[in-house]
């Protein structure tokens, strides 16, 4: 047995699949070691090359356990620390989520080896990236979706981010995985002492990065007017007291005092549910802020629960006062944070978890931009910013994006940095600056090219004030949406099928007839 087969066969290969999945976590924020996002899938692809379809599924699932286990462990913090669930129940829910998410790379491996068992271009260059990206996209909407740790996010600081304005984060994943396949091909060629083709494959990776560099320097949108001064208020209210009646007045006082010296800003934003009582109960407080905003020509925006006209349920909302108007009701809710899935079957679980404000309901009406003076702002709440197709709009007059969040649910984990990384990718896709406002961090202003302009120190009570350049126009992603990407995936699969059939035909034995 060769050294290569020793480390890839049997249990050693299985363990390696888990390990490289875990290492993949370091390609995402806050670590940003983006070359790992090419190397890690390349190793997994290598581990898939000569195994059965069932073994490919198992290794893909182990890879997913490593990646999601180390990448979204913070779900346990949300459920246990702030949901007050027991260790056992929190571990069960978190482990179940991770095991389900791990099925996606597992199914990708199964399908790849089921329909493309031979090593060659059909399997490596076409089917592998197409199948993986397709299931990343499916993961973003199936059962409300969980788009966290989409591979393309790892490239927010690499030249490959330039592809996002064309095909979104999924397009970045696609070119990234093509690079992984080219890397595997280069290694296979080198092992066969075919150094010429090995070099061509490595050169192709450089070309992909070169095109990405060019794309990342193309400015698809234009400045709208002069930069404006904005203030983002980070109240740093502990999650443990956020919804406590005794903490209501201190919370309102904290935000009011932080804001009083910033009414010269054109826009002031408070984070998600900064006002922790329903809107109808805070009427006098809001009318006062509205009057101050109008007096100074400032648009005041805050997160606040809004009670439905009937029943005891609430919308998670953003409302606008002062020199502006409009509201936004959250469409995509957080499972176990804002609602319990299959509630009528597990109604007793609410009492066990003891999650505050778990009676949020999703909005169904189409959202319209908030108005801030003559500006239009696309607003989103918390992890909605993780969904490219939720943020996508063909409105060329939109000037900036806003997301308000309460990332205190995640504790002091890597989740905040991952959340910010996804908002950066939305900026690139849409060619708009993003105001990222959080209760305890990370509060930040993101430029239209996805680069961080300024940030507030996390876990501190502070106001981030800076000048922001609004933009307008359309990126290719805005113009055409997801359809071109899905078409490309289909074409790759069709090419893979056609080339595989041609390979089988050329390798079939020739039968000579006899008389």
- What are the residue numbers of the active site? 272, 330, 382
b or e along 226-255 (b: 16 or more beta carbons within 10 Å of the residue's beta carbon)?
A: eebebbbbbbbbebeebbeeebbeebbebb
Nearest to 266 by CA among 467, 31, 16, 483: 467
Cα gap 235→326, rounded to integer Å: 23
Neighbours of 280 (CB within 10 A): 10
Nearest to 425 by CA among 151, 21, 214, 227: 151
Neighbours of 363 (CB within 10 A): 18
Q: Both tokens of residue 225?
A: 């007017």
What is the 3-class SS of 163-230, one letter each residue?
A: HHHHHHHHHHHHHHHHHHHHHHHHHHHHHCCCHHHHHHHHHHHHHHHHHHHHHHCCCCCEECCCCEEE
Instruction: Look at residue 485 and give its three-state secondary structure.
Output: helix
| Cα dihedral 179, 185, 190, 194 sign | negative
Is residue 455 within 8 Å of 424, Cβ to Cβ? no
Beta pairing, strands 267-269 & 299-307: parallel
Give the gyration radius of the chain's Cα atoms: 25
Phi, psi values for residue 141, rounded to 5°: -135, -20
Q: How many CA atoms lie within 13 A of 346 on its CB side?
A: 10
Nearest to 403 by CA among 428, 380, 423, 377: 380
Q: Both tokens of residue 261?
A: 């010296």
What is the 3-class SS of 180-197, one letter each residue?
A: HHHHHHHHHHHHCCCHHH
Nearest to 30 by CA among 389, 367, 414: 414
Total count of residues recorded for the chain = 515
**CB burial class (10 A; 0-12, 13-18, 19+) of residue 354?**
exposed
- Which residues, 6+ apart, have CB-to-CB distance to 121 below 8 Å? 185, 499
């Amino acid at each position: 047995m060769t050294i290569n087969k020793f480390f890839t066969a049997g249990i050693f290969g299985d363990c390696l699949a888990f390990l490289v999945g875990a290492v993949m976590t370091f390609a995402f924020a806050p670590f940003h070691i983006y070359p790992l996002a090419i190397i890690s899938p390349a190793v997994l692809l290598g581990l898939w090359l000569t195994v059965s379809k069932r073994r490919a599924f198992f290794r893909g699932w182990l890879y997913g356990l490593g990646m999601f286990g180390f990448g979204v462990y913070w779900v346990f913090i949300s459920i246990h620390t702030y949901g007050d669930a027991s260790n056992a129940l929190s571990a069960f829910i978190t482990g179940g989520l991770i095991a389900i998410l791990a099925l996606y790379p597992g199914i990708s491996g199964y399908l790849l080896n089921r329909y493309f068992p031979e090593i060659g271009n059909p399997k490596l260059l076409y089917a592998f990236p197409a199948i993986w990206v397709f299931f990343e996209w499916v993961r973003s909407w199936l059962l409300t979706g969980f788009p966290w740790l989409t591979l393309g996010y790892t490239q927010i600081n690499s030249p490959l981010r330039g592809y996002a304005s064309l095909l979104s984060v999924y397009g970045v994943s696609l070119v990234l995985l093509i690079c992984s396949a080219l890397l595997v091909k280069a290694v296979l060629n080198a092992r066969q002492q075919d150094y010429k083709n090995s070099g061509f494959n490595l050169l192709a990776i450089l070309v992909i990065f070169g095109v990405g560099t060019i794309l990342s320097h193309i400015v698809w949108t234009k400045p709208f007017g002069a930069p404006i001064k904005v203030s983002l208020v980070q109240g740093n209210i502990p999650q443990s007291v956020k919804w406590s009646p005794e903490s209501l007045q201190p919370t309102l006082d904290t935000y009011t005092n932080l804001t009083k010296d910033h009414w010269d800003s054109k826009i002031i934003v408070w984070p998600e549910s900064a006002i922790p009582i329903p809107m109808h109960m805070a009427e006098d407080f809001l009318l006062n802020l509205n009057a101050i905003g109008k007096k100074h020509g400032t648009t005041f925006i805050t997160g606040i629960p809004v009670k439905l006209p009937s029943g005891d349920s609430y919308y998670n909302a953003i409302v606008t006062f002062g020199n502006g108007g409009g509201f936004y009701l959250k469409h995509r809710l957080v499972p176990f944070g804002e609602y319990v899935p299959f509630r009528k079957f597990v109604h007793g679980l609410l009492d066990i978890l003891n999650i505050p404000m778990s009676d949020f309901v999703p909005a169904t009406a189409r959202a319209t931009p908030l108005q801030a003076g003559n500006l239009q702002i696309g607003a989103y709440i918390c992890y909605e910013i993780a969904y490219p197709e939720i943020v996508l709009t063909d409105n060329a007059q939109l000037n900036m994006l806003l997301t308000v969040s309460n990332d205190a649910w995640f504790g002091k984990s890597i989740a905040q940095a991952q959340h910010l990384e996804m908002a950066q990718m939305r900026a690139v896709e849409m060619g708009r600056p993003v105001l990222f406002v959080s209760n305890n961090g990370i509060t930040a202003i993101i430029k239209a090219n996805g680069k961080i302009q300024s940030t507030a120190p996390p876990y501190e009570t502070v106001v981030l004030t800076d000048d922001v350049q609004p933009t307008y126009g359309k990126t290719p992603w805005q113009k055409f949406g997801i359809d071109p990407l899905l078409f490309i995936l289909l074409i790759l699969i069709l090419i893979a099928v056609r080339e595989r059939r041609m390979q089988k035909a050329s390798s079939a034995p020739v039968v000579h007839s006899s008389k």
